[in-house]
Chain A
Amino acid sequence: MGLLRVFLCTQINKKKEHTMKAQKQIISYRRRCNLIGQGTGLSHYILLTPSAETTAKDNTK
């Protein structure tokens, strides 16, 4: 149930954000990397390295 609620809330928030943007005559926003405070960012120049999230999903072992 908990997971379902989180999913539904996320979808509702996304829809709200989408509707909010649609009504605007000016669209302007900015996002920030969550890791930037560590001074490293995501700093490779080819997309190779799996994140912890993607490796956790890998069930091929």
Chain B
Amino acid sequence: MEQTPKQATASRFANTGQGPNFSVLEIGDPKRVAVVEADTAYWALVDRQELPQALGGAMVEDFLARAPEFAAEMDHLRAGLKLSAAYVNPTERCNLNCSYCYLPEEMRKNGIDMGEEKLMLALERLLQHFRKILPEGVKPQLIFHGSEPMVAREAVFAAIARFKDDFNFGIQTNATLLDDAAISFLREHHVGIGLSLDAPTAEVANSTRKNWQGNGYYDTVVAVIKKLVDYPALNVITTVTQANVHTLTEMVDFYHGLGVRVVMLNPVRCTRQGGMDLKPDNQVLAEAFFKALDRSFELFEQTGRKLVIANFANVLAGVIGPTGRRLMCDISPCGGGRCFFAVSADGEVVPCSEFIGMNEFSGGNIFRDDPADILASKPFQEVTNRKVEKIRPCAGCAIRHFCGAPCPAEIYKVSGDINAPSPYCSFFEEQVRHAFRIISQQREEAYLWDSWRTETEMSYCWK
């Protein structure tokens, strides 16, 4: 008699048959290891003695029951988000000549301005596109970016005044041109302000961030930070190089002492020779970075006042809740060309500011082409189709959705191939391990921005 084949049932064991692929990660925590299912960005921290419990039985069944939901969430994060931000460079020029700038020197020195009339037209065209695609009531974000946007102050401020009800505005500036009138204007219009400072001392800070005559602006920038420190929409970016990597802990003390609430300690991008020359060693960077994080925790414990190191907080947030991340660098595809794009001063549109000056990545021109066509263009598709699954060794890496193998522009410049791993690969590995250690110590709240809890909700908890 012919038997009817039985329906296959879910295995109770990981790593065989129809069981999930659970990777076991050494995270450097004396008590626990991490168990990760990479495709869904699922994780569990398990007592070392209890590891067999995680590789079979209830935890496996619990994961299998929720896996479709986790996978759908990752699909939405990686393919379902809409364009909601634009970075606009109102000028190619900059009054500084920082050693590691990612923009071509000739452009910064003798480049063009967009001009007020064309800037208004660009914003109008962007707004029309955003209105078509965003849900009613959702304001797009418009960030004036560099070169130095304050070189084109009149045009920028006129645009902010005209479109104040249409965009949430931000400006990333070197702070050297922010006088009291400019600060008042930006505050009154609730413009997010990002400033750049690289060290707690003038000697180190001025060694990389200086004008065309070689003079630094440490004192000016610190004076501006003091004026803005009570402003909730202030954040400071420190670009980490060989020159300042040993000062990160002092930097944390310095920022905390000033009352700054959010900083980013961003490793220098190797998109130009200057950045490549100043890239810190990954191990040196990791050690200095984690000491700085530890110091921020100590200061929080001592004072109750948090200094959020936002680039790390984003990695931590991406582990705890993949869709709760704010920055879109550490997921693949990255946010470039799908969540945001950048408009250069001549109207060329590239997936991200990091691509400005790389003409092969232009998807079109904002004054000539429909943004929808730009988003669908071949150069944009190259970036938006860049997935860790196509990259070796990332394809087999358990933390591939906590890292994202950033940044395509940097990797293209370093490797000549967009589908290659990051020059910071081992640093990113260590950063994710550190995030797991913090979760194991149940200290994650101390490292995350204050509104993080209200921006997210608990969707799963192992009982």
Binding site for B on A (CB under 8 A): 18, 21-22, 24-36, 38-51, 53-55, 57-58, 60-61
Contacts and interface: CB of A to CB of B under 8 A. Distances in A.
A9 to B, nearest CB: 14
Interface of B: 32, 42-47, 50, 53-54, 59, 70, 73, 76-77, 80-82, 84-85, 134-135, 138, 141, 143, 168-172, 187-188, 190-194, 230-233, 235, 237, 262, 264, 310, 320-329, 334-336, 339-340, 352, 439-440, 442, 451, 454-462
A7 B440 CA distance: 26
Q: Which are the 7 A-B pairs with shortest beta-carbon distances?
A: A48-B170, A31-B321, A50-B233, A43-B339, A28-B44, A48-B192, A28-B462
Given A42-B325, A43-B81, A28 B461 contact: yes
B321 A44 contact: no
Nearest to B190: A55
A15 to B, nearest CB: 12
A30 B321 contact: yes
A32 B192 contact: no
A26 B138 contact: no
Given A22-B442, A26-B54, A30-B460, 14 more contacts: A26-B50, A27-B32, A27-B45, A28-B44, A40-B82, A40-B134, A42-B455, A43-B85, A44-B335, A47-B326, A48-B143, A48-B233, A49-B168, A55-B190
Contacts of B264: 46-47
B461 A50 contact: no
A61 B336 contact: no
18 contacts: A27-B44, A30-B460, A32-B73, A41-B77, A42-B324, A42-B326, A43-B340, A44-B335, A45-B340, A46-B172, A47-B262, A48-B192, A49-B168, A49-B170, A50-B170, A50-B191, A54-B233, A60-B230
A45 B336 contact: yes
Contact of A50 (B53, B190, B459): B190
A53 B451 CA distance: 9
B119 to A, nearest CB: 18
A38 B138 contact: yes
A41 B461 CA distance: 22
Contact of A45 (B32, B82, B232, B327): B327
Contact of A26 (B53, B190, B193): B53
Contacts of B134: 40
A26 B232 contact: no
